[in-house]
Amino acid sequence: MSNTSPARPAGGARYLVGVDVGTGSARAGLFDLTGRMLASGKRDISLFREPGAMVEQSSTEIWAAVCASVREAVAKAGVSPEDCAGIGFDATCSLVVLGKDGTPLPVGPSEDPERDIIVWMDHRAVDQVERINATGHAVLRYVGGRISPEMETPKLLWLKENRPHVFDAAWQFFDLADFLTWRATGDLARSTCTVTCKWTYLAHEKRWEPSYFHAIGLGILADEDFARIGQTVVEPGTPVGAGLTERAAAELGLAAGTPVGAGMIDAHAGGIGTVGVDGPPENSLGYVFGTSSCTMTSTHEPVFVPGVWGPYFSAMVPGMWLNEGGQSAAGAAIEQLLSFHPAAGEASALAGSRGLSLPVLLAELAAEKAETLSGVAGLADGLHVVPEFLGNRAPFADPHARAAIVGLGMERGIDNLVALYVAGLCGIGYGLRQIIDAQAAAGAPVEKIVISGGAGQLDLVRQLLADATGKPLLATRSEEPVLLGAAILGSVAGAAFPDVRSAMAALSATDRSYLPATGETEALHARRYDAFKRLQALAREIR
């Protein structure tokens, strides 16, 4: 742990609040100034699915869930609201559409105005993506060469073309993290993290590129001087507005004026909550393993990696460049994979009887069957999975890719389900290794992986990822590094630390390390990785 000492915030406030809005829930954590989480709160949030890969949410529901989670965390900790030095928000990179006076607008055919969010995983804009990429605009160099349907300008173009009345009526288009800081403070400032990573803002030049918006059919946004997508852009952790408004403070159960830091995308918050451990940020790849997976690699100079998003300037660690990879389905891919097996129902019932989730049960069974954690990969002998159920985010930027499963027989028992689970985890690991290899070839090597996210909390999963990638994997002391990352933003806004880097160094520390296997296990993973790449290429060829 760093010896960096926190400054004394105004009024002697001693606690930090971090808020994380994921795909399925809103969570809040209350931390002290050593990075220890004292209490947390959580509320589930709804996900609305429609045909055509449409996925929507409600900003009204999300804000209510955020407020309830913060109140719960503060109450559990028994802390006075006046003792909170600052609050920070992170969220999925979802698009929020608000009309006059902040009223929600319907983004889909349900015509329900409460459904005003196009969720990050929504792929309705694939056609718009293909047309945008066909322009070959220079801006695309900074998103890995190809824009993704997860990003916001294709979604905005879809709205303009398919729901022009909604597009025209919109007062503001927010990334979800920026919506939260606006709702908390009334300030329209955007974060360099959100608009650089998902909206094509050129942070290294501190500007939007009007010609891009004209070229793709969104010239009206440029003609309006970008008033609806962000005219003020600040680095994460920058104090926003005058802190919490009276209204927001009452809703959150905090003191009016509590400093609010400019927010981040959830995966990037996990990055700043982890990569500050054990050396400078550029040595570590931040790996956020949840419903999806994200890789975060920091460099001092821009590195262009085909198929890997970025390079983005000051999108995670201020003053550094970021390359972002990962997969659209990771934990969700494992759940989908397991659901196909004949033993899934029996195993789910067994997991429920033990108070476990199905993946945790299967991990326990796998650990029992293998002599060592590094020997677990041998349970998947003959089974190979390329888990690209929702496309390949990186390093191929191919939203049309789909999963490949080879080696299934007629087995119907739980033992075979365990083998399939292990094969799926191996596939996740090999996809991560492929990104690491592509970045290293382009000039951005990393020494180690630092993991966060709910799907990566088991020892078996961590060891398997270390073995599959051939890289040491570190777990941080904080059990909730994404929440800690959000709290770090609040700590800087509230002057508990002078900047994000010093807060990262002081508040995060290594808990455990997992070294990659050598010898026969290393050779086994090399063979399986080769099979993974061949199956992936074959699936692409025959598609």
- In the chain, the amino acid numbered 365 is L
CB-CB contact of 301 with 339 (8 Å): no
- Does 408 fall in a domain? yes
pLDDT in tens, 11-69: 567 999 999 999 999 999 999 999 999 999 999 999 999 998 999 999 999 999 999 99
Instruction: Identify the sign of the CA torsion 149, 155, 156, 162.
Output: positive
Residue 297: closest CA among 429, 144, 155, 178:
144
- In the chain, the amino acid numbered 306 is P
pLDDT in tens, 132-142: 999 999 999 99
Q: CATH number, domain at 70?
A: 3.30.420.40
Residue 293: closest CA among 421, 455, 143:
455
Point out the domain boundary residue: 217, 242, 266: 266
Point out the domain boundary residue: 222, 239, 266: 266
pLDDT of residue 432 exceeding 70, the answer is yes
pLDDT in tens, 93-131: 999 999 999 999 999 999 999 999 999 999 999 999 999
- Does 504 fall in a domain? yes
- Does 2 fall in a domain? no
Instruction: Identify the sign of the CA torsion 204, 205, 206, 212.
Output: negative
* CA dist., res. 243 & res. 394, Å (int): 38
Residue 465: closest CA among 515, 420, 415, 511:
515
**Residue 453 confidence class, pLDDT cut points 50, 70, 90:** confident
* 94 and 131 part of one domain: yes
- Does 3 fall in a domain? no
* 324 and 346 part of one domain: no
DSSP state at residue 275: T
Beta bridge partners of 356: none
pLDDT in tens, 309-336: 999 999 999 899 999 999 989 999 999 9
Which pLDDT value is given to residue 1?
33
pLDDT of residue 469 exceeding 90, the answer is yes
Q: CATH number, domain at 418?
A: 1.20.58.2240
pLDDT of residue 158 exceeding 90, the answer is yes
Query: What's the average model confidence in pLDDT over 533-542?
Result: 97
Point out the domain boundary residue: 266, 293, 320: 266
Angle at 428 between CA 425 and CA 434, to 5 degrees: 140
- pLDDT > 70 in the chain, percent: 98
Per the model's pLDDT, the better-predicted residue between 80 and 282 turns out to be 80
- In the chain, the amino acid numbered 454 is G
* CA dist., res. 219 & res. 208, Å (int): 12
* CA dist., res. 427 & res. 429, Å (int): 5
**Residue 144 confidence class, pLDDT cut points 50, 70, 90:** confident
* 317 and 411 part of one domain: no
- Does 19 fall in a domain? yes
* 34 and 158 part of one domain: yes
Which residue matches tokens 């006076």?
101
Q: 410 CB contacts (<8 Å, ≥6 apart)?
A: none
3 state SS of 263: strand
* 166 and 48 part of one domain: yes
Q: Which residues of 226-238 are buried (b: 16+ CB within 10 A; e: fewer)?
A: bebbbeebbbbbb
Which pLDDT value is given to residue 479?
82
pLDDT of residue 513 exceeding 50, the answer is yes
Which pLDDT value is given to residue 7?
43
- Does 405 fall in a domain? yes
pLDDT of residue 2 exceeding 50, the answer is no
Token reading at 543: 């598609």
- Does 8 fall in a domain? no
Per the model's pLDDT, the better-predicted residue between 347 and 5 turns out to be 347
Q: 87 CB contacts (<8 Å, ≥6 apart)?
A: 16, 17, 18, 19, 70, 184, 244, 252, 254, 258, 259, 260, 261, 490, 493
pLDDT in tens, 69-82: 999 999 999 999 99
* 88 and 224 part of one domain: yes
Q: What is the mean pLDDT of the chain?
A: 94
* CA dist., res. 179 & res. 185, Å (int): 10
- Does 459 fall in a domain? yes
Per the model's pLDDT, the better-predicted residue between 397 and 410 turns out to be 410
Query: What's the average model confidence in pLDDT over 483-487?
Result: 96
The residue length of the chain stands at 543
**Residue 217 confidence class, pLDDT cut points 50, 70, 90:** very high
3 state SS of 238: coil
Residue 185: closest CA among 500, 492, 490, 482:
490
pLDDT in tens, 378-390: 999 999 999 999 9
Domain of 410 in residue numbering reads as 331-434+519-542
* 427 and 452 part of one domain: no
Query: What's the average model confidence in pLDDT over 206-232?
Result: 98
Which pLDDT value is given to residue 171?
98
* 535 and 402 part of one domain: yes
Which pLDDT value is given to residue 99?
98
* 35 and 106 part of one domain: yes
* 293 and 198 part of one domain: no
Domain count, the chain: 3
Which pLDDT value is given to residue 11?
54
* 413 and 483 part of one domain: no
* 403 and 457 part of one domain: no
pLDDT of residue 277 exceeding 80, the answer is no
Which pLDDT value is given to residue 12?
65
Q: Render 354-418 in DSSP notation, one character per residue.
A: TT--HHHHHHHHHHHHSSSGGGGGGGGTT-EEE--BTBB-SSS-BTT---EEE---S--SHHHHH
